[in-house]
Chains A and B, each alone.
Chain A
């Protein structure tokens, strides 16, 4: 306990260590938050979800905050129900069970570009006689455009951009431009727009509800992808997956490498011989190709890949480094003394030899984490990531296969890339500082 506090105190002497520690802690915080905010099963469902889950989102939308950095402000997506603040719903009772239902949506449009789409999701309630609606569009410069009239089904979606009649009425312009464009024909009119739904119902408890879904070109904190999925899901869930993969792989490989090196050094003979030969064979095996083969032919589950990674990473050059040091430790007098007082081999290995190497193990363990985080991301980028898990690498893979850079959707690649780099940097900085503290050769006095 005391030594942990001492190490921590010493750690705080290095600014990079503080930065690294904060970064790592933030990442862990992010991972914990992700797991609480979006439980695992829900994350999987959301990630697999199609149009019915994500209909409210635009496709390929950049994050909303990108507006701060551009001169041309992009329209922000929003969803408005008829009982929301910006909407007014009035019911006017008429004769013979007939009533009028007027829904007015009011919203500001201070943007310099046109939205992707505007949708109306109607739900209506009736026995036999179908309600009827007329939809109007009121622009800030006082024009009133009739959009459409139709009878409403119990569930009906009306897509403004796809309406051919509306297009004709707007003299052939795409409705998403025609509804907003000003007299000059170039820029949209900024100001307050109204969408008016005048409904007629013909039964006593008949009702109409409508939801206005406005697909802008920017959305949320991280934007959306080709399947309208909110990128918050993979951005958040990438953290626990990356950290778990990196930490578990790093911990298991480092510790197992050390134990196996110690066993080889202590027992010598055929044990050592076997370990060394396995290592030498493993060193010339193409690590990455084997992983790709496993991913292609066997399983892409993160756990399988993790297992294979650990297995292949144990018998690396590191085992020789540890072995050489263990050979030295083995000959120390205190080991001979331990042998003299009858300590058995296991106790010598685990109580006498391995604790000597802990100072070498800890910085190595921390520094090895980014390599495994990147490995997991690399596999995902190559399309060999876990197909069900939302991860950073998966995001880059999707972005790449949908031509994100070609289409100028930089956010799609930059967001996960930045998180990957930050996590790599955090662990690297912490690892270097720990190395300076624990490694006697680098110790500054």
Chain B
């Protein structure tokens, strides 16, 4: 490893046990992230994006079948820590999460000020006043009026709640914030606002972001790097500029083609077939059944190929 990385995942696996069988939600993810870098994780619904976030933060449900691999933060393997140490030292201090449906992630019986101050009190044992002061600064950063400190979550609009959730994720100043579909339930204006907030935060606080989304258009605003996830695996990692102009993996190409364009003649494309069930994952390349460039070698598992400092998991580029 030449560069010092903030986060490095090695062969991270998270499988769930269900009545249908083992769901391979995250299956062997390798990935790294530098300081002050924003990575957008793209993928269809059900491809394991949210599970990846949970796997990184070790927020495991009860029905976990396999949870293995290595998670390095600042080159320290945090998988070695036990749950209590992990809770104490990693969550919110090294990385934090803005959960999916962040609007509902606020405690309805706490005032949002106290809610944002909560992580400070939990982790630093801060006094309520100090913590509230930090919360106030965070409110300024995300553009929520200070008067809102005394309100309850249900008294806030969706956009405001989202900002509060982001403020909460930043209050202990972690180096990495994972945002799980932060704008999925918001109108476009509010979405734009939130992304402006995130951009500003990245500039001012030098925070790294992992942005999990299926909204390709808005994510292009923020991304330094794009990672495309398909059926529990990462199939392409690329710098944003090149990715948006020329995606490498056939799935990425199809994904980009599905975005409607205002002035282009072409109809939005779609991908035939449906994403494979994560219970019975096909052998070889997982995209082969839907891939227009299918060949014989696709029956074997493709390797991750480096091409122009981009990584792609496809036989086409070998």
Chain A residues in the interface with B (C-beta under 8 A): 268, 332-334, 336-344, 347, 351-352, 355-356
Contact = CB atoms under 8 A, between A and B. Distances in A.
B235 to A, nearest CB: 27
Contacts of B59: 336, 339-340
B123 A342 contact: yes
21 contacts: A268-B62, A333-B99, A333-B100, A333-B102, A334-B106, A334-B108, A336-B59, A337-B102, A340-B57, A340-B59, A340-B91, A340-B96, A341-B96, A341-B123, A342-B88, A342-B119, A342-B122, A343-B118, A347-B122, A351-B110, A355-B109
Contacts of A341: 91-92, 96-97, 118-119, 122-123, 168-169, 172
Interface in B143-188: 165, 168-169, 172
Interface in B100-140: 100-102, 104-110, 118-119, 122-123
B104 A332 contact: yes
What are the 3 tightest A-B residue pairs by CB atom distance, in nearest-first order? Answer: A342-B91, A337-B105, A333-B104
A339 B165 CA distance: 14
Contacts of B122: 341-344, 347
A337 B91 CA distance: 11
B87 interface: yes
A336 B104 CA distance: 10
B108 A356 contact: yes
Chain A residues touching B, majority SS: helix
A333 B105 contact: yes
B313 to A, nearest CB: 29
Contacts of B93: 342
Contacts of A334: 104-108
Nearest to B99: A337
Given A333-B104, A336-B105, A344 B99 contact: no
B109 A338 contact: no
Given A355-B109, A356-B109, 11 more contacts: A333-B101, A333-B105, A334-B107, A334-B108, A337-B105, A337-B106, A337-B165, A339-B59, A340-B96, A342-B93, A342-B119
A340 B109 contact: no
A337 B57 CA distance: 11
Contact of B87 (A332, A342, A351, A352): A342
Contacts of B91: 340-342
Contacts of B104: 332-334
Residue from B91, B108, B109, B165 with most neighbouring chain A CB atoms (10 Å): B109
Contacts of B57: 340
Given A341-B91, A341-B96, A352 B62 contact: no
Contacts of B100: 333
A329 to B, nearest CB: 10
A266 to B, nearest CB: 12
A332 B109 CA distance: 13
B107 A352 contact: yes
A355 B111 CA distance: 13
B97 A337 contact: yes
B294 to A, nearest CB: 40
Contacts of A344: 87, 122
Contact of B97 (A340, A343, A347): A340
Residue from A339, A342, A344 with most neighbouring chain B CB atoms (10 Å): A342
Residue from A334, A336, A337, A351 with most neighbouring chain B CB atoms (10 Å): A337
B59 to A, nearest CB: 6
Contacts of B168: 337, 341
A336 B59 CA distance: 8
Contacts of B107: 334, 338, 351-352
Contacts of B165: 337
Contacts of B101: 333
Contacts of B62: 268
Nearest to A332: B104
B158 to A, nearest CB: 14
A345 to B, nearest CB: 10
A157 to B, nearest CB: 70
Interface string B79-96: 000000001100111001
A341 B122 CA distance: 8
Nearest to B178: A340
A333 B96 CA distance: 15
Nearest to B101: A333
A338 B165 CA distance: 11
A347 B96 CA distance: 18
A334 B152 CA distance: 13
A158 to B, nearest CB: 75
Residue from B93, B100, B106, B118 with most neighbouring chain A CB atoms (10 Å): B118
B65 to A, nearest CB: 17
A392 to B, nearest CB: 39
A84 B282 CA distance: 110
A270 to B, nearest CB: 13
A334 B107 CA distance: 5
B125 to A, nearest CB: 12
A341 B86 CA distance: 11
A334 B103 CA distance: 9
A428 B124 CA distance: 46
A85 B270 CA distance: 111
A349 B93 CA distance: 22
Nearest to B105: A337
A393 B107 CA distance: 46
B92 A342 contact: yes
Contacts of A340: 57, 59, 91-92, 96-97, 99
A351 B169 CA distance: 19
A344 B84 CA distance: 9
A337 B110 CA distance: 14
A3 to B, nearest CB: 11
Contacts of A351: 107, 110
Nearest to A336: B99
B164 to A, nearest CB: 11
Contacts of A268: 62
Nearest to A331: B61
A303 B109 CA distance: 36
A252 to B, nearest CB: 23
B46 to A, nearest CB: 19
Nearest to B91: A342
Nearest to B100: A333
A356 B152 CA distance: 13
Contacts of A352: 107, 109
